[in-house]
Structure 1
Amino acid sequence: MPGHQPSPEPGADSTALTLNVELHLGEGEFMELPMRFGYRADAPFAVAMAFPGFDPPTRTWEFSRDLLWKGLHRPAGTGDVRIAPPCRCHRPGRLRITLRADDGTAVIDVPAGPLRRWLRAQVFALVPRGREAELIDWDAELTRLAGGR
């Protein structure tokens, strides 16, 4: 799943977590901003990540919830979204998410503890790992991929 596919902003109908994160601007410069992670059972393989409060609104990123979980434990991702676990080299206690797009790259440091707790207590409780495919209407997805034929 591409890292920058548009998806609905995580909202009231989702299991959501809002965190204050730090956007790396350059050599030792950070800007604090809110980030909202959302998860919906009707899109069981993905988490959505948005930056609320911007005008105009910023892009919502959608990527694998398993990628996010793996990134809490070891480096993960090979495409537009790369995740590095907390370590002494970059802000201890923070997960580093790197987002790449045609118009630039953003490096975001996210508090790892609240994110880990949210995944365990809410996301994996709503749809346990390995049970995601049971919630997909595969016939509808095939029809959509075939252009409605």
Structure 2
Amino acid sequence: MAETHSVTRARIEFGLRTFGASPLPVPVELEHDTDDPYAIVAVLHAGANIVRWIFGRDLLADGLLAPTGEGDVRVSPAADRSKAVVELNSPDGAAVLEAPAQELAAFLDRTYEKVPVGEESRWFDFDEELAKLALLD
């Protein structure tokens, strides 16, 4: 394991794309925890509802440059390159959101300061995670 545990957070206003109208503002809290260095948690505040999505840090970073992702989460640059598009799909529904690409990149840069690319395994305790899985049996 590496240095001291920390969580990097950012609150970014995403826009929920809707047909025939301007995007509706959706506050989103992004989190990167050094205890799970491969993941980003996005907490969306949609009215009284709170929705949590967990996806790869690499997926978010790669999606700022080119379309990426399959299935539940896809990220791509928008036609307006100052924005990124985040598509979320689940059995309960789907949402297409846009976010300021520069704010996403700044958040990612802060996560890389804590856990540089290629050093995630120094922070991730595989034995501990396997032990958690064994408890599920």
TM-score, normalising length: structure 2: 0.87
Paired residue type of 1:145: L
The answer (yes or no) to whether the contact 2:74–2:88 under 8 Å persists in 1 is yes
1:125-144 to 2 correspondence within 5 Å?
A: 125-144=113-132
In the alignment, the residues of structure 1 paired with residue 45 and residue 20 of structure 2 have an alpha-carbon distance, to the nearest angstrom, of: 25
Paired residue type of 2:77: P
1:26 corresponds to 2:19: yes
Give the alignment's Cα RMSD to 1 decimal: 1.8
In the alignment, the residues of structure 1 paired with residue 78 and residue 106 of structure 2 have an alpha-carbon distance, to the nearest angstrom, of: 15
User: After the TM superposition, which of the residue ranges 32-41 and 105-114 deviates more from structure 2?
Assistant: 32-41
What does residue 48 of structure 1 align with?
41
1:26-105 to 2 correspondence within 5 Å?
A: 26-52=19-45, 54-55=47-48, 57-87=49-79, 91-105=80-94
Paired residue type of 2:91: D
Unaligned runs of 5+ in 2: 1-5
Q: Residues 52 and 104 from structure 1, CA distance in 2 versus in 1: closer, same or farther, beyond 3 angstroms?
A: closer
Paired residue type of 2:30: F
Identity %: 30
Unaligned runs of 5+ in 1: 1-12
Give the SS at the match of 2:51.
coil
Structure with the higher strand share, 1 or 2: 2
Aligned residues: 132
Cα distance, 1:135 vs. partner? 1.1
In the alignment, the residues of structure 2 paired with residue 148 and residue 63 of structure 1 have an alpha-carbon distance, to the nearest angstrom, of: 22
TM-score, normalising length: structure 1: 0.81
